[in-house]
Amino acid sequence: MKRHINMRLKCRYEGEKNTISRLEVEHEIDREWQALDLDVTTPGFDVFVYAMLHCQHTYFRINCAERGLLLDSAEGDIKVLTDKDWNLLDMTVSFTGQLESGQANEADIDFIVARMQQCPVSRNVNTPASAHTGISLVSKQGQARQRQDPEAVT
């Protein structure tokens, strides 16, 4: 038996450091999206998956700011596949950011993805057989830069 765990977030930002002004996180339960409310009753594996998503999001937004890419908003998701014993088999993380200012080039995207690889939560996970990170940054003019990296999560 394989288990699928999916979470997604929507975020708005403000300021030169891409400070979070609004964050909504949902997880999929029985094929329906529900708000993720972390508390003492939240299943441990949901907390673990959220920790990975949160860490990747933190590295995404902070490193965008470091490159002068100020975000207006972003959407991100994490898809995790485990075996019956909860061992990670596959993990896919992706973010799409709408830029308030700046325009990403390939060097920016490579830098951000490389920094996301340093997320300490993901680095301390047993490497799944398959791990993928993708990011896309869209300028106000609608120009997009994106990258899908098959080994960027860990």
pTM comes to 0.87
pLDDT of residue 135: 87
The residue ranking higher by pLDDT, 125 or 33, is 33
Q: Would you tell me the crossing angle of helices 106-116 and 44-66 to the nearest 10 degrees? A: 150
pLDDT of residue 24: 98
Instruction: Look at residue 72 and tell me whether its pLDDT is greater than 50.
Output: yes
How do beta strands 88-101 and 130-138 pair?
A: parallel
Instruction: Look at residue 150 and tell me whether its pLDDT is greater than 60.
Output: no
Task: Locate the domains of the chain by residue range.
Answer: 3-149
Question: 1.10.3720.10, 3.30.300.20, 3.40.50.300, 1.40.20.10: which CATH number matches 3-149?
Answer: 3.30.300.20
Instruction: Look at residue 127 and tell me whether its pLDDT is greater than 70.
Output: no
In DSSP terms, 70 is beta-bridged to: 101
Which residue is associated with the tokens 């030169």?
16
